[in-house]
Amino acid sequence: MLKGFKEFLLKNSVLALAIGFIMGAATGKVVSSLVADILMPVISLALPSGEWRSAKWELGTKMVGGKEVSNAITYGTFFGNVVDFVVIAFVVYMITKALIKEAPAAPTKKCPRCTESIAPEATKCKFCTADI
């Protein structure tokens, strides 16, 4: 039973998927920290209030149970999450581009009659059926 489970994990690349998921989650935390702790303090120097993630648009306030409750659209949190997503997507793109190289294109030749690309060892064009 254990052997069958091991074969299942290796055959279906479940283990590789699990490792990729864990690495992606860890990368997300590191990049979120990079954005929140390093990039955004520098960017917030250019903003007038500095606390851009807590920026909100007050719609109104109410008295509920003796306490003042404000109703607001917290657009700073939304923009913060958008910045996190863009930076995480860029980092994942750069890592993927560095680790996965594109395979070279298969060699082809052109049919002299119809100019379609065909395999180099072909003796007849599959598009126009001309002998090559």
Q: Where are the domains of the chain?
A: 2-101, 103-132
Q: What is the pLDDT of residue 63?
A: 85
Q: Is the pLDDT of residue 131 over 70?
A: yes
Give 13-34 pLDDT, tens digit per residue.
777 788 888 888 887 788 778 8
Q: Which of 7-11, 52-56, 60-64, 115-119 comes out lowest in average pLDDT?
A: 7-11
pTM, full prediction: 0.53
**CATH number, domain 2-101:** 1.10.1200.120
Q: What is the pLDDT of residue 48?
A: 64
Q: What is the pLDDT of residue 49?
A: 65
| Core vs surface per residue 80-109: b (16+ CB within 10 A) or e | beebbeebbeeeeeeeeeeeeeeeeeeeee
Measured from the Cβ of residue 31, the count of other Cβ atoms closer than 10 Å reads: 19
Nearest CA to 88 among 22, 17, 30, 40?
30
- The conformation of residue 107, written as its DSSP 8-state character, comes to P
Q: What is the pLDDT of residue 79?
A: 84
Give 68-113 pLDDT, tens digit per residue.
888 889 888 888 788 878 877 887 788 888 888 888 888 899 999 9
d(CA 53, CA 34): 15
